[in-house]
């Protein structure tokens, strides 16, 4: 039996936000699993971008999830069996610049996707991807659990908490019947990996600074985050989707997918490790006052490990090395090595006996 018990082979799968960083990696993996993938998203926000580099052959639909009527018509036409909802405004600092866009996309957009899924009789499972920042951040030194209070200081974090509430409301009001779709939400850590060119993110900003020969200004070197490779979070989403497609209602709830404790590192530690791998990277501490961002954030993924049998595959050092290797390959040879790295990740999971990877 293949990865995820071959549940995705020949399945009709819809990914919203498929042109984004996470969405493009997820679309690649789903195609490798034999799924029939369709994507709904706006055009990529940057050039270059991971989605265009992959050149995937799938039903690529340019559509704003805030367009209720067109979204319902499109999902009704596609008739997906499972929906991975990743479309979002994903940046904290952008949420300060345009809070209304953030709220309308992340909250109303999520409600639109769920309502369209409610109208489409084909949908059996929905995984709504939110964020580790959906928790009311108390700056405490232990990990947030799925039943901790939701909240958020900045518009992005608060909008992700609100998206969780929208999902919980739909689950209780409309998806709690024997024939209704199973709906879960997923909260991952700070994902890294090749192909991310988003603004105001540590590694993409560093990579851009090499091209411009600038010295990057670092805002919060002591801020601590749960760093993990993008494939770690995606393995969690796919494993969760498998359980929902198998009809296991007890998995229709909220889930954390964070790294092991050694993945909780400060920005300064990440920079030091990156510099060892890539001496060309240069930075300095910014002297400018910046908008509020959480300084301490951990995730407790005990529930995913004990109930889903999910576990990280690449440790902190391997995740950083893979990220550096991807960008070095792109800068030196304009080659995107995403398929190669996905194969390496799956092989590592098989060697470690991780359940979802079993042949």
Tens-place pLDDT, residues 294-334: 567 889 999 999 999 999 999 999 999 999 999 999 999 99
Other CB atoms within 10 Å distance of the CB of residue 42: 14
User: Is the pLDDT higher at 15 or at 267?
Assistant: 15
Q: Residue 106 to residues 195, 198, 302: CA-CA distances in angstroms?
A: 23, 17, 27
- The mean pLDDT value for 2-26 works out to 97
Asked if pLDDT for residue 117 goes beyond 90, the answer is yes
Q: Residue 21 to residues 26, 48, 110, 119, 248: CA-CA distances in angstroms?
A: 9, 11, 18, 28, 29
Q: What is the Cα–Cα distance from 260 to 201, expressed in whole angstroms?
A: 22
The pLDDT score that the predictor gives to residue 290 is 55
Q: What is the Cα–Cα distance from 55 to 93, expressed in whole angstroms?
A: 30
**Helical pair 230-245 and 338-351, crossing angle rounded to 10 deg:** 70
Residue 144 DSSP code: B
Q: What is the Cα–Cα distance from 133 to 158, expressed in whole angstroms?
A: 8
Contact 153, 138 (CB under 8 A): no
User: In the CATH hierarchy, which top-level class contains the domain 3-357?
Assistant: alpha beta
Beta strand 224-229 with 264-266 is antiparallel
Asked if pLDDT for residue 84 goes beyond 80, the answer is yes
The pLDDT score that the predictor gives to residue 1 is 66
- The mean pLDDT value for 106-123 works out to 98
The pLDDT score that the predictor gives to residue 64 is 98
Contact 322, 277 (CB under 8 A): no
H-type alpha helices, 79-177: 92-97, 99-103, 109-119, 155-173
Computed over every residue of the chain, the mean pLDDT equals 93
Contact 273, 320 (CB under 8 A): yes
CA angle 124, 129, 130 (to 5 degrees): 140
Per-residue pLDDT band for 210 (boundaries 50, 70, 90) equals: confident
User: 222, 172, 202: which is closest to 324 by C-alpha?
Assistant: 202
The tokens of 131 are what?
């964020």
Of 18-22, 113-117, 204-208, give the lowest mean pLDDT range: 204-208
User: 225, 220, 224, 206: which is closest to 288 by C-alpha?
Assistant: 220
Other CB atoms within 10 Å distance of the CB of residue 347: 12
Per-residue pLDDT band for 289 (boundaries 50, 70, 90) equals: low
Asked if pLDDT for residue 14 goes beyond 90, the answer is yes
Q: Does 48 sit behind a cis peptide bond, omega within 30 degrees of 0 on the bond before it?
A: yes
CA angle 85, 87, 89 (to 5 degrees): 140
The pLDDT score that the predictor gives to residue 287 is 59
Q: What is the Cα–Cα distance from 97 to 187, expressed in whole angstroms?
A: 24
Q: What is the Cα–Cα distance from 358 to 356, expressed in whole angstroms?
A: 6
Domain map of the chain by residue range?
3-357
Q: What is the dihedral of CA 118, 251, 14, 347, to 10 degrees?
A: 180
What element of type H or E holds 234? helix 230-245
């Amino acid at each position: 039996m293949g990865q995820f018990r071959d549940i995705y082979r020949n399945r009709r799968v819809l990914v919203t936000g498929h042109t984004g960083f996470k969405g493009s990696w997820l679309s690649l993996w789903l195609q490798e699993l034999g799924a029939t993938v369709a994507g709904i998203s706006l055009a990529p926000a940057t050039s270059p971008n991971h989605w265009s580099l992959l050149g995937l052959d799938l039903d690529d639909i340019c559509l704003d999830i805030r367009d209720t009527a067109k979204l319902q018509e499109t999902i009704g036409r596609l008739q997906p069996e499972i929906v991975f909802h990743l479309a979002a405004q994903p940046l904290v600092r952008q949420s300060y610049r345009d809070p209304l866009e953030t709220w309308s996309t992340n909250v109303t957009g999520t409600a639109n996707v769920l309502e369209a899924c409610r109208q489409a009789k084909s949908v059996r499972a929905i995984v709504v991807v939110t964020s580790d920042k959906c928790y009311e951040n108390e700056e405490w030194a232990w990990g947030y659990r799925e039943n901790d209070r939701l909240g958020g200081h900045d518009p992005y974090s608060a909008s992700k908490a609100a998206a969780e509430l929208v999902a919980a409301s739909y689950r209780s009001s409309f998806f709690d019947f024997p024939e209704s779709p199973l709906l879960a939400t997923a909260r991952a850590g700070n994902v890294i990996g090749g192909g991310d060119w988003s603004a105001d993110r540590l590694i993409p900003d560093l990579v851009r600074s090499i091209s411009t020969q600038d010295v990057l200004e670092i805002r919060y070197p002591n801020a601590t985050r749960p760093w993990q490779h993008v494939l770690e979070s995606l393995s969690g989403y796919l494993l969760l989707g498998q359980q929902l497609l198998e009809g296991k209602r007890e998995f229709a709830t909220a889930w954390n997918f964070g790294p092991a404790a050694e993945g909780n590192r400060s920005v300064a530690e990440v920079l030091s490790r990156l510099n060892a791998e890539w001496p060309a990277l240069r930075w300095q501490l910014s002297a400018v006052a910046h908008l509020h961002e959480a300084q301490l954030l951990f995730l407790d993924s005990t529930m995913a490990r004990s109930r889903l049998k999910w576990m990280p595959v690449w440790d902190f050092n391997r995740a950083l090395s893979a990220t550096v290797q991807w960008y070095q390959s792109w800068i030196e040879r304009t080659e995107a090595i995403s398929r190669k790295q996905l194969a390496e990740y799956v092989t590592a999971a098989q060697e470690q006996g991780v359940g979802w990877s079993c042949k």
